[in-house]
Structure 1
Amino acid sequence: MLAYEYGSDGRMALREKDLPRAAEGEVTVDVVAAGICGTDLKIARGEHRLFPPGTVRVPGHESVGRIRENRSGRADLEPGTPVAIAPNIACGQCPPCRKDLGPLCEDYTSVGLTFDGGFAEVVRVTARGVAGGNVLPLPPGLDLVTAAMIEPVAAVVRGLRPLRLTPTDTVLVCGAGPIGLTAVVLAKQAGVRKIIVSQTSAARRELARQYGADETIDPRAEDLVERVFELTGGIGAEVVIAATPVHQVFTDAVRAAAKGGRVNFFAGLPSGKGEVTVDANLIHYRELLVTGSTANTAADCAEAMEIVARAPEAFAALITHRVPLREADHAFELATSGEALKVLLEPQT
């Protein structure tokens, strides 16, 4: 089969690989679509902690398709069944897992991160993943292409959960890529009072308005923090989401928060370059809650699947490019260009 693989030379390339086969308890999936996200771009740059020098592995953790082989015994996973794959597989027994911190599992495995993923014609899901509910049959009527948004939506669902959005909140989203725009959609669905989006691209600021932002800010043209306080009558934003991997964004996220505000550091910075300057006195005297979030669980993906199924058009619109797997180099160029939102690789075309 054809796969887009990270090689021992630290480069992504198309390669022919043996077709994976399902062992006892496992399934294999014919991949219909696999999304490219910031994590994959970080892998391609050789900056991901789970891809140390010498790693040979197929990335791709936002994958959907149809069951090819089913050796799990599950009747709802018969061949041909359309499914989404929740990539992060937890043991369910360690201390983090017992606290619903599956992405921090002490025996963590993940499709496309610790073993071969969806940038291939066929992907295998381990027995632990199948038993843990990481293979999700799609609800009737939800097409496979739109379902490729389930995993990124799940990541945003997890990031927003501790922020406890309420109708009296002003929400500041820093970054209007697929994650930031998804946060805008979910905040709008939660009925918050006002949504402000900070984004350098004029085209993406316009998209943010189309998705529900009440105000947009170009942080290169005006002071982000000052403008947020102007727009909120001197109060600041009750909720701030740092959804772009820019060091200054994390600093400004804390500064823009209202008293008692909740801040989420969603984006991840490159390995070894994660230090940012944050005014601890602001956290102390404003009694801010600063949270981090990483990845998602199978339960998060199941919740996201319901969200996407209720409003598929909102999430389908984030998919701007669909590229055959054999043109994966071009797909990654699009994903890094800034002109695309969500880029999908399609191995079956």
Structure 2
Amino acid sequence: MLALRLHGKSDLRLEDIPSPSAPKGGLLVKVRACAICGSDLRNIKAGGSSHGMTLPRVLGHEAAGEIVEVSDGVEGFNMGDRVLLSVTVPCGKCYYCLRGLTNLCDHKTALSYQYDGSFAEYVAVPEQLVRTGGVIPIPESVSFEQASIVEPLSCVLNGQELSNTGLNDVVAIVGAGPVGIAHAMIARVLGASKIIMAEISQERLEMAGKIKVVDRVVNSGKEDFVKAVMEETRGHGADVVIVAAPSGEAQVQALSAVRKRGRVNFFGGLPKDRSTITIDSNIIHYKELFVHGTSDSTVVHMKKVLSLIENKKIDTGLLITRTFPITQYKEAFDLASSGRALKVIINP
């Protein structure tokens, strides 16, 4: 089968490798769509040095497809079932898994890191992912392409729930990439009354404007983001500020852009060599702020997002810029890394 395997720094190869079989207790899925994630781009650049990735490794973890092989003894799945795959493979036994926080599992592994991923014609689904509910049926009304971007949207939903976004909230989002725009879409579904989006790329702001869920866009390379938020909130600040960009400066600014007792979400991780910021903690103290992060999602979040798509509460088609066959992977990754696209999908 054709597969995209990472061998080292900037060394991604399209190779013809043997097709896998369904592992014991697992499944074999024919991949119909797999979206490119920002982490894929970072892993290619870094040579897979993060999160315990072993090389060579088939990349790709935002995937949907259909089951073509069911291992003996596996119940509840049939040949031809349309399914969405979770990324995280939790242990199911640790302190956090037993509390339903599988995204924070102490021993988690993942597709495209410790297991081969889905930039391939077929992906072997391990027994542990099947056992922990990470193989999710796709409703007939949802396309494979739409389903393939459920995973990043589920991370967004996790973040919005942690930020307690609700009715009449003013939500300010830093970063107009696909994740930032997804935050705007989910915030609107949850009842946000006003959404402000800041971004240094005018091209991305224009893409965000076309989605028509953002009330004000701020080119933070030309405008003062904090001042703009204050103008839109009568000087109070936003109820929720989400930093969906790898910017330490934006994280610091978020503390000034949020209202008293507001919530600040450091959604985007910072580069490892620039992960320390200096803040005035008195701002948090005197404004009684709630500052938190977001890491991955659970199967419950994925199912909620699938339901939103099925019931047409969000239109994921607006997030999909283009699809490519796997043989055109170079063009696909170039577009995904250019800043001129939202989600780019590979159809193996």
What interval of TM-score do these two structures reach, taking the shorter chain for normalisation?
A: over 0.9
Q: Does 1:240 align with 2:238?
A: no
Are 2:337 and 1:332 aligned?
A: no
Shift of 1:331: 0.9
- Trace 1:5-24 onto structure 2 (pairs within 5 A): 5-8=5-8, 11-24=11-24
> Within 5 A, what are the aligned runs for 1:1-349?
1-8=1-8, 11-46=11-46, 49-50=49-50, 55-71=55-71, 73-209=73-209, 210-311=211-312, 314-347=315-348
Residue 49 of structure 1 and its aligned partner are, at CA, apart by: 4.7
Change (3 A) 1:313 1:295: closer
Cα distance, 1:119 vs structure 2: 0.8
Check conservation: 1:64, 1:82, Cα contact below 8 A.
Answer: yes
Cα distance in structure 2, aligned partners of 1:49 and 1:110:
14
Which amino acid in 2 is paired with 1:111? L
Distance in 2 (alpha carbons) for counterparts of 1:104 and 1:341: 27
Per-residue CA deviations over 1:51-79 (Å, capped at 9, x if unaligned) read 66973211211000010111164554211
SS of match in other structure, 1:221: coil
The DSSP-based 3-state class of the residue aligned with 2:14 is: strand
Q: Say which is worse superposed, 127-136 or 166-175, in terms of deviation.
A: 166-175
Q: Residue 132 and residue 275 in structure 1: after superposition, are their counterparts in 2 closer, same or farther (change >3 A)?
A: same
**Shift in Å at residue 200 of structure 1?**
2.2
Amino acid at match of 1:33: A
CA separation of 1:279 and 1:108: change in aligned 2, threshold 3 A:
same
Q: Could you list the runs of 5+ residues in structure 2 that have no partner in the other structure?
A: none
> What are the ranges of 5 or more consecutive residues in structure 1 without an aligned counterpart?
none
| Displacement of 1:8 | 4.0
Q: C-alpha distance in 1, partners of 2:41/2:217? A: 26
* TM-aligned CA distance change 1:51 to 1:239, over 3 Å: closer
CA distance in 1, matches of 2:142, 2:28: 21
Any idea what the Cα deviations from partners look like across 1:156-180, whole Å, max 9, x if unmatched? 0111111111223110011111111
Percent identity between matched residues is 35
Cα gap change, 1:29 to 1:54, in 2 (>3 Å): closer
Any idea what SS the aligned residue of 1:191 has?
coil
Task: Tell me whether 313-322 or 56-65 shows the greater mean CA deviation.
Answer: 313-322
How many residues are treated as equivalent by the alignment?
A: 347
- Please state whether the residue corresponding to 2:315 is helix, strand or coil: helix
**TM-score when scaled to structure 1?**
0.94
1:277 Cα offset (Å): 2.6
Cα distance in 1, alignment partners of residues 256 and 48 from structure 2: 29
Note the alpha carbon deviations across 1:261-316, whole angstroms, 9 max, x for none. Answer: 11111112223331223321111111111111111122221122111212276111
CA distance in 1, matches of 2:65, 2:171: 35
After superposition, what is the alpha-carbon deviation per residue over 1:164-219, rounded to whole angstroms, capped at 9, x for unaligned? 11223110011111111111111111221211011223343233333311111110
Aligned residue identity for 1:285: Y
